Structure 1
Amino acid sequence: MPVSSSANPGGRRLGRRPPAVRPPWCCSTGVEPHIAVRRLKQNQSPQPPQKLLSSSAAPSRRMLSPGRVSPIDYATVESESRLSSVEETRDGASLREKVADLRVRLKGNDGSCLVLEMDWDVLCENSSVFAGMVDVVDCREIEVVGLEDFDAFKDAIELMCEKDEMRWLMTAGVARAIKILEVCFLIMFDRGVTACLKYIEAVPWNESEEEKLRNMFVRCNFDETVSKDVLARLDPQGPTFSSDLTIELIRSVTNGTKANARKQLQSLVYSILSRSSVYQKDIAGLNKESVYDICHFSLNCLVEFFEEASDPVPADQTAAFEAKLPLVERISQQVENLNWMLEVLIDQQMAEDFVHLWADQKELVRMHERASPMVRYELSRITATVFIAMGRGRLHCHGDKRFNIFQAWFRPMLIDFSWLRICSKGLDIRMLEESLGQSLLTLTLKQQESLFMEWFQFFSKKGKECPNLSKAFQVWWRRSFVRTVGQN
């Protein structure tokens, strides 16, 4: 921001002139520029003020205006500006009692020029930068060149003349206030900085404005006493860890009792934790052990519920009577919780242990055989999620773990398939059939043989009530026998 000043020929500060007939207050800027923040900041580095100043003869005439800040274009006089409506100074004195005795010339990179003719005291009382320049050399003109947007610069100077800064900033809006804030900081207009920060802290920001504020706080070292409230909205104040909050969110979701609200919160938390989310800053922030602790809790609840379902007369009649939800809904809720947490673990690449955990549920497998089809098929919804993830290559685990889960849950899946088709609850049945076949084909050929033979016998009796694994069966048969015969 190259700055120069024009001294008066007598080498003294200009005296006040009596009020004169003033032409209309006007402004002609040509192209609206954008302030060159870096240029301003670079040239605002502490230098002896004398190096920033250059003396020249004062203009042969001085144009006055009704306000203390008057933009004047020497080339063209256009429509009256909005500043002409300002009638009082901050101390309440009439503007017509003040005489503009200092001219600030703003020049943009595009060649546009704006001249502000204003009261000397206003500029120097509010800006330490300008006060230092004017005090060194009694001058009547200051020139600021190389601006990409002197609109914000003009606004900052205009703010000096406002009696109610907050009301003025409310009219300007957040985006404009952010630009003005940086100019105020660069010219050391402390009252303007305080007013801008106070206004910005009190209003909502969009994401673009928030990012601009973050960048500005990196570049500008604001006084902590005036900026702490804005900083509190930008950065957490304290040792709170996202992993701890995440576990609290997951617990709240799994303990929820309203189905619609729980589904919405599941979607919200999943979107925040997703590896592709714009909010995900640290993928390792999710505590794996804590999530699995919640999974164990849900599994224990399922065991209790199935024990209750297998006992026609519950031992604790009071507990059964006070249950907030029917047994079927409680089972469905825990299954939904486990499926949702499994999706979170899959997205975070932490789901391998879940395969072992689900394959090891011998008690649930045993109770599945005795339970009513109305509730037992819920367990196969969890199995379906596992098989779909493995069949689509989203869940990777050792071959032994894959075979263990087939040993435990393949037959229950065949039994429950007709219920899954009727009560899909969002489950894609075709995807399940395809993924089940693909998962089966990841086992050894000998392991595949026993499972495909079991499926073949079951399908021959149940037909559409059983998943159709014909395509996968053909692949297994070709790999096991056709190539071998051909080689022989």
Structure 2
Amino acid sequence: MFRRGVSSCLKYLEAVPWTEEEEEKLRSLFTRFKFDEATSRDMLARLHSQQSTDTLQNLARHLVSSITTCSDANARNELKSLVKGLLCKSSVYEKEQPDINKEDFYAVCQSCMSVLHNLFEEASDAIPHERMTKKEMGKPLIARISKQVDNINFLLEILLDRQMAEEFVDLWVNQGNLLKLHERASPMVRYELSRVSAILFIAMGTRKLHCCSEARSGLLQAWFGPMLLDFGWLQRCRKGLDMKALEEAMGQTLLTLPLKQQYVLFMEWFRCFSRNGSECPNLSKAFQIWWRRSFLRGSETHAVES
């Protein structure tokens, strides 16, 4: 009678949906007690996946790759939120998730950057119209560029959360062709590239991204100038970007460089700010810190030594 009662309860539980609390209780139950295979087989199939870590990693790549090629904007945004919530370490599912394959994510990043490069070639009329597909020509260029930047930032945010974004800095620094295309592109599209730089500056300035001096220097030498040019457009088209946080982070990132390099970049900022005012980031606070470290404290140290 007891066995039949247990079997009846298990059959009922197998047939109905579970809350997460109920699922945890069932997991605990099956670790403490043994039931005959016929009774427990279907329950265990719901509680334990037979997928290998490699399969789960491939699935993660497939999911992010599918999102970056999704054509419906609303669905893409919904899926980004879903997948980022599952893959980020801050997720409630952190204890159960496997490590993601960094190479897979960087492969998707490279694919998005290749598409972005082609779009900027199109923006500068470097691609003949006959080489474009009907599908490509049917959508506004600005929307297609914005989509790819959103994709790159989506991947970058996951890499940052996983502390895997150091190589992305090198990847972004080495986009020499994109930098050249940025110079030729209209301000209303070129600022999209600075949205990627903004995420990196904020991550560095808030200590979430730790890179060697060469990487930080390379990033600022390559993308600091474009950021100064694009800042006004970023203010008008923020797309969720915290401009105050960006200004603060840019200054903090600059201050991590050797003082001689800081001098060159702060002078570039000073000239830009004197011409363009609020169209340029306000790095006055960081400039004051640089001035004090370069001259006032330096003179005090020299006086003590002499």
In the alignment, which residue of structure 1 is the partner of 2:39? 226
Match of 1:217 among 30, 35, 54: 30
Which contiguous aligned blocks of 4+ residues in structure 1 show a shift greater than 6 angstroms? none
- Say if 2:116 is the partner of 1:309: no
Letter aligned with residue 50 of structure 2: Q
Superposed displacement of residue 344, structure 1: 0.5
> Percent of aligned pairs with the same residue?
55
In the alignment, which residue of structure 2 is the partner of 1:434? 248
Q: How many residues align?
A: 301
Match of 1:267 among 61, 81, 90: 81
> Does structure 2 retain, via aligned residues, the 8 Å contact 1:253–1:262?
yes
In the alignment, which residue of structure 2 is the partner of 1:35? none
Match of 2:21 among 201, 205, 208: 208
* Distance in 2, Cα, partners of 1:260 & 1:238: 30
Structure 2: give runs of 5+ residues left out of the alignment: none
Letter aligned with residue 5 of structure 2: G
Higher relative contact order at CA 8 Å, sep ≥6: structure 1 or structure 2?
Answer: 2
1:193 aligns to what SS in structure 2? Answer: helix
Superposed displacement of residue 282, structure 1: 6.1
Match of 2:228 among 389, 411, 414: 414
> Does structure 2 retain, via aligned residues, the 8 Å contact 1:242–1:285?
no
Alpha-carbon distance change, 198 to 324 in structure 1, aligned in 2, over 3 angstroms: farther
Superposed displacement of residue 274, structure 1: 2.1
Q: Residues 114-171 of structure 1: CA distance to partner in whole angstroms, max 9, x if unpaired?
A: xxxxxxxxxxxx2xxxxxxxxxxxxxxxxxxxxxxxxxxxxxxxxxxxxxxxxxxxxx
Superposed displacement of residue 324, structure 1: 5.1
Instruction: State how 1:259-298 maps to structure 2 within 5 Å.
Output: 259-281=73-95, 285-298=99-112
Structure ID, larger Rg: 1
Alpha-carbon distance change, 271 to 445 in structure 1, aligned in 2, over 3 angstroms: same
Q: Where is the strand percentage greater, Structure 1 or Structure 2?
A: 1
> Does structure 2 retain, via aligned residues, the 8 Å contact 1:197–1:227?
yes
Structure 1: give runs of 5+ residues left out of the alignment: 1-125, 127-188
In the alignment, which residue of structure 2 is the partner of 1:83? none
- Say if 2:86 is the partner of 1:258: no
> Does structure 2 retain, via aligned residues, the 8 Å contact 1:197–1:226?
yes
TM-score (norm 2): 0.94
Letter aligned with residue 45 of structure 2: A
Instruction: State how 1:300-379 maps to structure 2 within 5 Å.
Output: 300-311=114-125, 314-316=128-130, 319-320=133-134, 323=137, 325-379=139-193
* Distance in 2, Cα, partners of 1:270 & 1:397: 23
In the alignment, which residue of structure 2 is the partner of 1:196? 9
* Distance in 2, Cα, partners of 1:209 & 1:382: 42
2:89 aligns to what SS in structure 1? Answer: coil
Superposed displacement of residue 314, structure 1: 2.4
* Distance in 1, Cα, partners of 2:60 & 2:51: 17
Alpha-carbon distance change, 336 to 362 in structure 1, aligned in 2, over 3 angstroms: same
Letter aligned with residue 442 of structure 1: T
**Mean Cα deviation higher: 357-366 or 223-232:** 223-232
Could you say what the CA RMSD is over the residues aligned between the two structures, in angstroms?
Answer: 1.7
Q: Where is the helix percentage greater, Structure 1 or Structure 2?
A: 2
Superposed displacement of residue 264, structure 1: 1.9
